[in-house]
Structures are given as C-alpha cells and as structure tokens.
Structure 1
C-alpha cells in the first residue's frame, strides 16, 4: 500500500516539476531572441510584458499559466 501511495504522489508531482523546469528554458529563449528581433514597438512591448507575466506566474507556482503566456511571447517572436 505504501508503494501505491508513493507512486501516486510521484505521478502528481512529476508533471508540475516538468512545467517548473520548462519555464526558465522558455524565458531564456525569449531573452536570447529579443536583442535581434525585428518587431514593431507595440509587439516588442507586448513580448516584454508577456515575458514578465510568465516569470511572475512561474515564481508564484502557476507553471501552466506561465507556459501559456511564455508560449504566446515565443509565437510573437517567431521562435
């Protein structure tokens, strides 16, 4: 029974930690693309805003929300 409980806990935690590890990778990709991005001022401002929102969501523990926001920023950047 203890083994079943341990497995259930692991399966619950694993997806959350996968999201947690992906957020910094996505933020780094956005940061690397920003200096050479050919975007309008409005799009550049939007990407920077989304990047900050993604970091804030990540830091608050909302990794799924962070992934979604960072994905939107990456889409605007074309990465």
Structure 2
C-alpha cells in the first residue's frame, strides 16, 4: 500500500520537475538564435527584456510565467 502511494506521488511530481527544466532549454534556444536574428533594434530589445524576465521568473520559481515570457521571445525570433 505504501509503495503504491509512493509511486503515485512520484508520478504526480514528475511533470513539475520536467516543466521546471524546460526553462533553461528555452533560454539556450533564445541565446543561440539572437546573434543571427534580423530584428529591429526595438524588437531585439524586447526579446532581450523577455529573456531576462523569463530567467528571473525561473529563478524565483514561477515556471509558468517564465515559460510565457520565454515563449513570447521565441515567437518574436521565429523559433
């Protein structure tokens, strides 16, 4: 009985850790795409702002907010 509960808890928590680990992957993709991006200065500034905001939110534990900000930056970069 206890092992079933332990397994259920591990399965329930697994998506949370996977979600948290997605933020660094998104930041790396943004960092890789920025040098070759053909955006206006204003758009590039916005991408950098969103990237920084995403990192800050990730570090504070707000992974949903981080993913939203990083997703917007990726959208602007076309990735």
**TM-score, length-scaled by structure 1:** 0.90
**C-alpha displacement at 1:72, in angstroms?**
0.5
**C-alpha displacement at 1:64, in angstroms?**
1.3
In structure 2, how many angstroms separate the alpha carbons of the residues matched to 1:63 and 1:12? 17
For the aligned residue pairs, the C-alpha RMSD in angstroms reads 1.2
The answer as to whether partners of 1:23 and 1:67 remain within 8 angstroms in 2 is yes
- State the match for 1:49 in structure 2: 49
- State the match for 2:24 in structure 1: 24
The answer as to whether partners of 1:16 and 1:63 remain within 8 angstroms in 2 is no
**C-alpha displacement at 1:26, in angstroms?**
0.4
- State the match for 1:13 in structure 2: 13
Unaligned runs of 5+ in 2: none
The runs of at least 4 aligned residues of structure 1 exceeding 3 Å deviation read none
**C-alpha displacement at 1:4, in angstroms?**
3.8
Query: SS at the partner of 1:44?
Result: helix
**TM-score, length-scaled by structure 2:** 0.90
In structure 1, how many angstroms separate the alpha carbons of the residues matched to 2:44 and 2:17? 30
The answer as to whether partners of 1:54 and 1:69 remain within 8 angstroms in 2 is yes
**C-alpha displacement at 1:12, in angstroms?**
3.3
